[in-house]
Structure 1
Amino acid sequence: MSSNSIEANLLTELLSEVREPALINTINEYLVNEPIAYLGPSGSYSHEVAMRFFGINKSFIPMRNVEEIVKCVYNGDCGFGVVPIENNLAGVVGDSMDALIKWSVYVSYSVEYRVSLCLVVNEGVESLDEITEVYSHPHAISEAMDFVARLKVSIIYTQSTSEALEKIRGARNRAAIASRLGAETRGLKPIMCGIEDRPNYTRFLVITRRRSDIGDRTLLIFSVPNRPGSLYKALKPFAERGINLSMIYSKPNKQSPWGYDFLLETECQLKDEECNEAIQQLQQETTYLKILGSYKHIKIT
Structure 2
Amino acid sequence: MKKILVTGATGQLGSELKVLSENYAQYEWIFADRTQVSLDNLDVLKKQLEVLSPNIILNCGAYTAVDKAETEQELANMINDLAVGIIAQYAKDYSVKLIHISTDYVFDGTSSVALTEEAVTKPINVYGATKRAGELTCLKLNPDAIIIRTSWVYSRFGNNFVKTMQRLLQERDTISVVNDQIGSPTYAADLAQVMMNIVTAQEWIAGMYNYSNEGEISWYEFVLAIQEIGGYTCEVNGIPSSAYPMPAKRPAFSLLDKSKIKEVYGIDVPEYKVSLKKCLKFKV
TM > 0.5 between the two? no
Structure index of larger Rg: 1
Using structure 2 for the length normalisation, give the TM-score. Answer: 0.28
